[in-house]
Structure 1
């Protein structure tokens, strides 16, 4: 099997897994009150609503935007010196982020704002799902050498950015479980 066919299968499977995970988030949102969605378990920690905002915003304004740059040929041409970092190689080889908590200090640039409504979160997740579906068929035409650097994983092409979205959503399921415990929802 050639590399392009293999990558197409991976991205198709990633869309299926992504939709499953996004639907899980939607089902979970239905369970919580707005008060619970806004509750922060501790000073400086995100609420469940902020976590979902983070997923939506990172997909729409970082990952999908970078895919669009790669598709348009606006990415950097990756040479031999520009390759994925060891962390990047590890997550792509394993197909997921390691199950460790990543804590970034609160900052206006990184900390998501609290959602205005549950509907905002639901609409945001649906928008990301729509964009993922629209983007999948375009990946086959993406120049593999056109990359956009990820701050931790190095240069990624369009298909790699696409796979990263699914891994990112799945990774935050661990945080979802922690937040559910912290807000006392008692729902598994």
Structure 2
């Protein structure tokens, strides 16, 4: 998949998140389907919060504010990008990210969706492709990513959590 396709798919996925918000009641949106599972609100908080951080990391790489000469992807990062999606299973977010997750209101999720979608739509694939590939920012689990890898990871990550939302919806019989 090339970068323009990745950006287009990312926009479509983010629009899907945005559109789903109109189908959830405020009460169900904030309700956890079972003990130890995130509510839809927490999924949205995590996805949009981390995507905004990932978008900022991508931007820093594009502006030459990354770390040059860093090692690149680690073994986990290599495997994830080779696969193109998270392997099946449940994953724990790094502690630094888990502590930021909140049970946000639907209106907050809508505002975050609009903000993120606007930022992603403003990104030009040529600008990413012209960025120095040696400019990288560290991901807590995957190693050091360059600008194009950050965009690709945003797509992988948002798709993963869209599947999580599907599972939550099924638990609430919303499909």
Q: What TM-score, normalized by structure 1, do the two folds share?
A: 0.83
Task: Give, in whole Å, the separation in 2 of the partners of 1:42 and 1:104.
Answer: 18
**Is the 2:66–2:137 Cα contact (8 Å) retained in structure 1?**
yes
Deviating above 6 A after TM superposition, structure 1's stretches of 4 or more consecutive aligned residues are: 105-108
Deviations 1:46-103 (A, max 9, x none): 110110111111011x201111221121211135xx1311111111112222222113
Aligned match for 2:44, one of 52, 69, 73: 52
Task: Give, in whole Å, the separation in 1 of the partners of 2:55 and 2:166.
Answer: 26
Residue number in structure 1 paired with 2:35: 43
* CA spacing shift, 1:41–1:187, aligned 2, 3 Å: closer
Residue number in structure 2 paired with 1:13: 5
Q: What TM-score, normalized by structure 2, do the two folds share?
A: 0.89
**Is the 1:78–1:155 Cα contact (8 Å) retained in structure 2?**
no
* CA spacing shift, 1:107–1:13, aligned 2, 3 Å: closer
Rg: which structure is higher?
1
Paired residues, what number? 174
* CA spacing shift, 1:160–1:115, aligned 2, 3 Å: same
User: Which residues in structure 2 correspond to 1:100-119 (within 5 Å)?
Assistant: 100-104=89-93, 110-116=99-105, 118-119=106-107
Aligned match for 1:120, one of 108, 111, 133: 108
SS at match of 1:101: coil
Deviations 1:119-149 (A, max 9, x none): 2212211211111121234213311101011
SS at match of 1:144: coil
Aligned match for 1:70, one of 61, 67, 72: 61
**Is the 2:11–2:121 Cα contact (8 Å) retained in structure 1?**
no
Task: Give, in whole Å, the separation in 2 of the partners of 1:39 and 1:171.
Answer: 20
Show structure 2 runs of 5+ residues with no match.
Answer: none
- The root-mean-square deviation of aligned C-alpha atoms, in Å, is 2.1
Does residue 1:97 correspond to 2:89, yes or no? no
